[in-house]
Amino acid sequence: MNFSTYINNRTVTVNLQKKRGQKHTYLRLKSYDLIIITSHSYFSLDDAKLLIKNKKDWIEKNLEQMNKNLLNDDEFLFLGIKHKNLDERNIDGFYKQEAKKLIPKIVLEYSSLMNLKPTAIKFRKNKRTWGSCNYKNELNFNILLMKFPISLIEYVVVHELAHITHKNHSKSFWALVELYCKDYKQRVKEFKSFL
């Protein structure tokens, strides 16, 4: 079920998805012109409109951030800054080259601090994950991390290094992340503003 609302001088489509058995209501900004609300089957259109009204300040702030990061066809993000692709370079190739230069230095710095040594560092372009640590303690990093500011890349490195000790997202895992990245919750929020 869809309806339109007016936010930040722009018409935004709201898609309401009702799911049987769902207990909570979730509001997600999918793009600068689409909001998705998922809720239980009794959540009405009026409930959705009220939720949008109550969350208006939060929505406006986050849509504004999304619009800042919106790219034209001839633009790309590098370390959190917009650049013009004047020489029509292969951006994925550029990201891979830069990731191989930058990320191993950050891994070396934090692996020394955390006393956790990966067995290998690999790079590829992923759709869903920014990094991973397998059972052999090999770290894989998404080359698209090069879009983001260094503080966010550092968070992903600390996160994956912590998986060398904890192969889960337990309290102990997050305690270890926080030890070396005190403001990790803020960095996660910032991460989402770029997506």
Which structural domains are found in the chain, ordered by start? Answer: 2-68 (no CATH), 75-194 (3.30.2010.10)
Q: What is the pTM of this model?
A: 0.68
Distance CA 96, CA 84 (A): 18
Give the integer Cα–Cα distance in Å for 91 and 113: 32
The string of pLDDT tens digits covering residues 42-89 is 888 888 888 888 888 888 877 776 666 666 677 888 888 777 876 777
pLDDT on residue 72: 66
